[in-house]
Amino acid sequence: VGLGRYDEAVTSYDKALQLNPDGCRVLSNRGNALGKLSRYEEATRSHDKALQLNPDDLGSYYNKACVYALQDNLELTLPNLQQAIAIAPENIAKWQRQTQISISSVAIHAFRN
């Protein structure tokens, strides 16, 4: 996925899921690749399946928040980001540097509503 070959990555993840349909990390990575392809609904479903398998999967909440942020949907970004923060609050600074999500703009939006 780091090489930008997201279609190939999705195909590989689909093959891996045929062998192990309960692969939480594979489902989350698949969701990331689908998000990069702007296939947001599929990405969200993939993250949701990962969270069904592991409701405490930090990465799936964070990545699902990123998918919603890419769609400028702060109302759905915020609860997923809050859940990720609740699981691992020590990651906030790292996430701010690594993502397009601006924690401050999400917080301001939540404060205004």
* pLDDT tens per residue, range 69-103: 889 898 999 899 889 888 988 877 676 666 555 55
Is the whole model's pTM more than 0.85, yes or no? no
Asked if residue 77 lies in contact with residue 68, where contact means CB atoms within 8 angstroms, the answer is yes
Helix (H) or strand (E) holding 107: helix 103-112
- Specify the pLDDT at position 111: 60
Q: 6-112, what's its fold? A: 1.25.40
Mean pLDDT score across all residues of the chain = 85
DSSP tag of 2:
T
DSSP reduced 3-state for 87: helix
In whole angstroms, what is the distance from residue 110 CA to residue 74 CA? 8
**Which of 15-24, 29-38, 69-78, 85-94 is least confident?**
85-94
Burial 28-61 (b: 16+ CB within 10 A, else e): bbbbbbbbbeebbebbbebbebbbeeeeebbbbb
| One-character DSSP codes across 47-72 | HHHHHHH-TT-HHHHHHHHHHHHHTT
Percentage of the chain with pLDDT > 70?
A: 79
Residue 107's pLDDT band, with cuts at 50, 70 and 90, is low
